[in-house]
Amino acid sequence: MVSRDMVRIQVSEHRMVMIHRRSLCDNCSRRDCTSFNGSRVTECPNFKPHFVIFMKCRNCGAIYDPYYNIAALDSELCPECNEAKKNEGMVVVCHR
Ligand SMILES: [Zn+2]
């Protein structure tokens, strides 16, 4: 079962990789790491994934690392496009 906290990424024809969205630590293969502090970790200098994956953005074609994109709304978009998407829904009201 795939929960909301996980994203399934197809990396080749027969291989799927599950990425935990809760914290980078959930995807890390390092054993002696001290970065985990009980809260959500989305950036870590010691991060070591089980698989190295690079994704191509559906929108702009940029190559990005989905592990550093775990907080994104759409895992098939690069961080920049996710940021743009986030702002899309904003309504700017002019008070003049
Ligand atoms: Zn993009």
Q: What is the pLDDT of residues 11-63, one digit of tens each?
A: 888 888 889 988 999 999 998 888 877 788 888 989 999 888 899 999 999 99
CA 80 to ligand 1 center in whole angstroms = 6
Q: What is the DSSP letter of 46?
A: T
SS3 71: coil
Taking alpha carbons only, the member of 87, 89, 85, 61 closest to residue 73 is: 85
Q: What span, in angstroms and rounded, lies between the C-alpha atoms of 37 and 9?
A: 27
Angle CA(53)–CA(73)–CA(30) in degrees, nearest 5? Answer: 40
CA atoms within 13 A on the CB side of 8: 6
Model pTM score = 0.73
CA 26 to ligand 1 center in whole angstroms = 25
CA 93 to ligand 1 center in whole angstroms = 27
CA 82 to ligand 1 center in whole angstroms = 7
Of 37-41, 84-88, 92-96, the poorest mean pLDDT is in 92-96
